[in-house]
Structure 1
C-alpha cells in the first residue's frame, strides 16, 4: 500500500498552491466527431501554413467568386448603397417585406404554386437556412435522403440536428444522376425529406425534368418534404436547361433554396432565401416552426436584402459568363480539354454550377487515395483541391476543382496535377514489377 501511494504521488504530484490550477478540458458535443467539412478543413489549414512561409498557393477548394476577382454586379451594390440609411434596425424574422415580395414574385413567375411573401424566409446565406429548415423538421433518429456525392453541409446539418443521413447514389456512369428506384427503396418509416442539389455541387449535373417528376412522385407517395438546393440555378452551360422542382411538385410540400452568393457573386453579403410551396395546410406547422427559429436568431443581415429585388428582376449578368467566350465557360473548357489530354483522368462534363469532379483512372488509380493525393498536390505543387470522399461517396478516386480561376490558371493547375499522377503511376508500376521479381 505504501508503494502504491508512492507511485501515485510520483505520477500525480501534489499541487503547489503557489501555481495556478489548470482548468479542466472543455468537452465538446459527441456528434461533432461524425461531421466532415474538408472544403475548409485540414488541407486548407495546411495551405495557410505554407502561405505563411511565402509559398504561393492556387486554391481551388472553395466556390468563392470574390476571391478570384469577380465582383457583385454594380446595380446590386447601388441598391444597397441607396438604402444604407435604412439598415440599422432589426427587421421581421422572415426578412424585409419588399425583399420577400421580390422573391415571391420571381418564384411565382417560374410557376411555383402558392408562392407568397408570407412563405419566404430570408437567411444569412443558404447555409443558415439549411440548418434552420432541418432543425424545424427532425426529431432524433429521423432520416433524410441525401445525394452521394452531396454538399457536405447537408450531411453535417442533418447529423447536428440529431437526424441520420441516408445516401442515394449518383454514379459517374449515370452522369451523376440519381436512380429513382433506389431512392424509393431507401424510404423507411423514419424518412422525413428528400434533398436534391440542382445544378449539383460537386459534379455539375443538371437534373432533367423527367427525373424530377419521378422524385416528386416518391415524395407525394410517402409524405416527404422536398428540399431543393438550387443556389446555382442560372449557371448552366452548352444549352443545359435548369428546371425548378417546385412547379412540378404542385401541392407536395417543397422548400426551394436560392441566394445571391453564386449567381450574383456576392458570397460575403450572406443573403439567401427559402420558399415554402405546396399545400399550405399540409405545411402549416412546419411554417410556424421555421418562423419561430427565425425569430430566435432575430433576423438576417439587413443591408444585403435591399439587393434582392435588383438581383432577381434586374439585369442578367450571369448568362454572359456561361456562354462561349465568358469567363466561366472558358474555365470549364480548359478543364474539359485538360482532362481529355490527360493519361490519368476522366470527367463527366459539368452541365452547370461552378465545379468539375474529375476521376482518376488507369494505372494511377491503383492504390489511389484521394486525401493523400490532395496533400501531395498541395505540398509539392502548391495546388489546393478537395478530395472526392469529402462529399460522402464510398469511392476515393475523385477530386473537386472550382471553375473560378482564369482559364490559363486552370491549365497550369492540371499540368501540376498530371505531374503528381505521373509520379503515383510510376510508383505503383514499380512496386508491381518488384513484387513479380
Structure 2
C-alpha cells in the first residue's frame, strides 16, 4: 500500500507540470471547447464561494456541461496548492487519508427536452473517496480517462481553519480622493492561538474585489503591529477603483424576452438572444442596482431541474461606443470565468460603431460588466467603459495564509468578506 501510494504521488508530481499555465492565480478554467457553464460554489448555495470550514460538514459543488449526446468516462485529480494556486510539493498521502487523489466523475445527467443535447456533470467534495485533511487551496483537474495527460478543465476551492480573527473595513474616503471614484480597505488580523509566531513576516494576505483575480492584491507584510494584531492600513495596494454596479439580463423564459433581452430567434441548432444594446456609463451618475457582483444562476421557467432541462442560448452582446484604440474590451463576470481571452474579447464593428461579442450560455439570470485591458498589461480597468464610483456595492474577500519559514505548505487560517457601498 505504501509503495502504491508513493507511485501515485510521483505520477501526480509529473502531471502537475503538465497543467496549463493558467492554473495559477485563477484556478477556474475550461480548456476544451465542448465544455460550458463551469460553476464552483458552496454545495447548498450557488451564490456562496467554494470555501469549506476545516472539520465541518461543509461541502462544495463543481458543476459543468459538455455539449454532447453521450457521457464520457471522466476522472478528476485533487492537488494541494499554495496561496497563488500553484501546485506545491506535498504528496497526496499528506493531505488525503488513503493517499489516493484521483476518482471518477460518476454523477451526471443527460439533458432533457432541450434543443441542444448536453451532459451535466457534478463533483461534490468532500465525499467518502476524497476527504482532504489540510487547510489551504485545492485544484481539481478534470480529464478524460483515455487521455490522462490532457486537461479538460480545472476548478479550485479552499479549506479554511478559522483561527485568525479578521477585522475589515472599507470606505470611500481614501488616501487619493474623498467620496469620488475609489474605495479603500483597512485590515486588522489577530493570530493569537493560530500557531503564528511572527505575524510581521509569516503571513500572506490576499484581497479580491468581486472575486476578480486580475486586480487581486497580495500583502506579505503589515504596515504595523499593534499588540496581537497585524495592521494593514494606508497602503496604496488597498485602494481599488469603485467601478459601477454589474449589468443584468435574464434568459429564463425563451418565449418572452426577460430583463435586458431585446429579442429571441431560433435558428437551428440554437436559440439566439439579442441583448439590449449597451452604452458606456463612465460619464453618467452612479445609480444603485441590486446585483450579485458578477455571479449567475442557471434557471429555466416551468422546470424544477434546470441542471438538465435548461437550454443553451447564443447570447449576443453589443456595446455602442467609439473604439478604444489602446485597449481590448472584454465581457467580465462568472459567465466568462473572469478570464480575458478570445471567448470574452469583444470585436469592434466599425460599420455599426459598436463592440460585439457572442457567448453560448445556459438559460439563467446573469450579471456582467465591460472591462478594458490596456495593451501590454494584464489588469483590467472599469473606468474606460463603466466608470468608477465610491458608492458602488463591491464585495471584498480577504484570505489570510500562514507561510512559516521552511514550511511545506501554506495554511489558510482566516477568511472574511466585507461589502462596500450601500
TM-score interval, normalised by the smaller of the two chains: under 0.3
TM-score (norm 1): 0.22
More helix by share: 1
More strand by share: 2
Which has the greater radius of gyration? 1
Relative contact order (alpha carbons < 8 A, sep ≥ 6): 1 or 2 greater?
Answer: 1
